[in-house]
Structure 1
Amino acid sequence: MFRRTFWFSAGAAAGVWATTKVNRKIRQLSPESLAAQAANKAIETGHRLKDFALDVRDGMAEREAQLDEALGRHDATPPELPTQRRLAAVESGERVIYSDTTQQHPYNRNEDH
């Protein structure tokens, strides 16, 4: 009698365990669950990319500091920006001609065409 009770209990437990596993797998494969898993993976990937970009930026700053030290550039002033080009207005008859005051050429290259 105990043998039959044991096997009945073992079969019932195996059935409950298998049903639980199957139901859990069905829930994991539902469209809502798959969409949530994909969204979580996308967010995780975004965080990893952000961390990678920050690591690259830190590495670039560190390497730039090493190169500045190796080249003897210890000044903290940034390099000067080029001066702004200014146009001078010259009146020629009825129309106003704008000429570039920083241009070195005595002619306009666009007039040749």
Structure 2
Amino acid sequence: MFRRTFWFTTGVAAGVWATTKVNRKLKQLTPESLAATAANKALVTGRAVKDRAVGFALDVRDNMAQREAELEDALGIREDPELPAPRRRAAIENRSNPTYVNPTTYSYNRNEDH
């Protein structure tokens, strides 16, 4: 009698364990769960790629600056030339310029003719 009870409870426990395991796996295979898993993996992969790309870009920039300094030293052009003054627009319109358009006669409203 004791043997039957033992094997009965062992079978029930194995059945409950197997049912729980199968239900968990089925929940993992639902479309919503698969979409969430794919989205999480895409985010992780995207972050990893971004971190590597940023690191690579910084390495390239550092090596480029180092190589430019080496070339400037080799060519003897190490001094910094003075930058030209910034260009400014004229305060008075040049009406003799063929590209001049009088703002009072020309409308920028594209829908005015319709």
* TM-score w.r.t. length of structure 1: 0.59
Partner of 1:64: 64
Task: Give the 4+ runs in structure 1 shifted more than 2 A.
Answer: 68-73, 75-81
Q: Which moved more, 1:19-28 or 1:44-53?
A: 44-53
Count of matched residue positions in the alignment of Structure 1 and Structure 2: 90
Q: Which stretches in structure 1 are left out of the alignment for 5+ residues? A: 99-113
Partner of 2:52: 52
Partner of 1:25: 25
Alpha carbons of structure 1 residues 8 and 76: separation in structure 2 relative to 1, 3 Å: farther
Alpha carbons of structure 1 residues 37 and 76: separation in structure 2 relative to 1, 3 Å: farther
C-alpha distance in 2 between matches for 1:33 and 1:23:
13
Q: What amino acid sits opposite 1:36 in the alignment?
A: A
C-alpha distance in 1 between matches for 2:79 and 2:44:
38
Higher relative contact order (CA 8 A, sep 6+): 1
C-alpha deviation, 1:50, in angstroms:
1.1
Alpha carbons of structure 1 residues 70 and 44: separation in structure 2 relative to 1, 3 Å: same
* Partner SS for 2:47: helix
Higher strand share: 1
Q: Which stretches in structure 2 are left out of the alignment for 5+ residues? A: 88-93, 100-114
C-alpha distance in 2 between matches for 1:21 and 1:70:
65
